[in-house]
């Protein structure tokens, strides 16, 4: 295991993100400051910047190849797993709210309370009534725009965590890799979690400890999406953006005036125990056939008239000559090639 490289990658990622978050430790509004969201959005590219420094300055390999940003031969899998991953995330979010309802949290699963409240608020602000379908369409357009903007920021995280760190850790096995990677990822959030980000109103020590679990579960889920997409970070980035964007929207749709008085961020929603279990189940071990395709033995291709040919790797494991020296140190994604 290339622990020294992993340690250097983490040091760079932590340092750059902490630098972005540092002003909000001293500004009076903290995470409520108007500049917080745009500045932290830039800071979320710290893992991508660290992966670029590692690929170019330490590993001496193509950065785009190393982090899955070469798309030739992968478009089918990418275009399939982007919507599938988003649908999976929506299902997880809906199920987590259903678990909250079963637990006794008062919710309106029909969304009627949200519609009536939204229409009343619109009429109060504008003096005009709005039909229910218009409110739904406005909300849908807002969600789509939010997904696009959030995905752009989150892509920087996924390039680093899922396309540089995840392949480096997977020789440990998928579950140990998720445990280690999830802990690293969770602690990377410390500069903002310690000043109130995530688990609003909760004790900060408890928030830091609890955030370990969803980060481990999401590492397993997003790592699985990345593997299935041939190493591309795009499906994981969209799924990650879906959790960040849609969790609040879906909670708002099913919430009533009594919901938040009974809602526990430690138990309910994607960052609670319910979401952790659902995400861990969705990102579980790869099927045996997928494992065999990714790690099966190399086979020998025969040349013309049955002459012995060159030894080749199974599909998705070809390593071109510039990558051979690097591949001894860090195991790349199953489909990594240096073209």
Exposure of 270 in the CB half-sphere (CA atoms within 13 A): 28
What is the pLDDT at residue 200? 80
Q: For residue 204, what are the CA distances in angstroms to 7, 194, 211?
A: 26, 6, 10
CA distances from 310 to 306, 323, 337 (A): 12, 18, 18
Please identify which residue in the block is written with the tokens 């440990």.
Answer: 172
Predicted confidence at residue 285, as pLDDT, reads 61
**pLDDT score of 286:** 60
> pTM of this prediction?
0.83
Task: State residue 202's pLDDT score.
Answer: 84
- Per run of 10 residues, the mean pLDDT along the chain (length 339 residues) is 94 97 93 94 96 95 92 91 96 94 92 92 88 93 95 96 95 95 96 90 89 96 95 96 94 91 90 94 65 41 42 39 40 39
What CA–CA distances, in Å, run from 202 to 192, 265, 268?
14, 9, 14
């Amino acid at each position: 295991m290339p622990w020294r490289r992993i340690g250097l990658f983490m040091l760079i990622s932590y340092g750059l993100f902490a630098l972005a978050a540092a002003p909000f430790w001293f500004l009076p509004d903290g995470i409520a400051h108007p500049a917080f969201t745009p500045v932290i959005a830039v800071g979320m590219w710290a893992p991508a910047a660290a992966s670029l420094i590692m690929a170019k300055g330490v590993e001496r390999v193509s950065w785009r190849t190393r982090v899955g940003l070469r798309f030739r031969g992968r478009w089918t899998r990418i275009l399939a797993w982007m919507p599938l991953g988003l649908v999976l995330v929506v299902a997880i979010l809906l199920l987590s709210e259903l678990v909250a309802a079963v637990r006794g949290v008062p919710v309106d699963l029909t969304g009627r309370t949200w519609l009536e409240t939204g229409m009343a608020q619109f009429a109060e602000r504008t003096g005009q009534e709005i039909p229910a379908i218009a409110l739904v369409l406005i909300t849908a357009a807002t969600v789509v725009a939010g997904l696009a903007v959030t995905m752009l920021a989150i892509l920087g995280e996924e390039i680093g965590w899922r396309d540089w760190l995840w392949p480096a850790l997977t020789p440990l096995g998928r579950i140990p890799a998720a445990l280690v990677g999830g802990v690293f990822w969770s602690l990377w959030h410390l500069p903002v979690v310690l000043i109130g980000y995530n688990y609003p109103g909760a004790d900060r020590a408890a928030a830091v400890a609890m955030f370990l679990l969803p980060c481990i579960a999401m590492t397993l889920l997003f790592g699985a999406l990345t593997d299935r997409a041939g190493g591309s970070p795009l499906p994981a980035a969209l799924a990650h953006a879906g959790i960040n964007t849609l969790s609040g929207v879906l909670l708002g749709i099913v919430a009533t005036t009594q919901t938040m008085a009974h809602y526990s961020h430690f138990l309910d929603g994607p960052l609670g125990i319910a979401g952790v279990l659902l995400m861990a189940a969705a990102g579980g071990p790869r099927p045996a056939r997928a494992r065999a395709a990714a790690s099966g033995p190399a086979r020998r291709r025969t040349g013309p008239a049955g002459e012995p040919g060159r030894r080749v790797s199974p599909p998705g494991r070809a390593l071109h000559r510039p990558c051979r020296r690097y591949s001894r140190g860090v195991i790349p994604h199953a489909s990594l090639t240096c073209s």
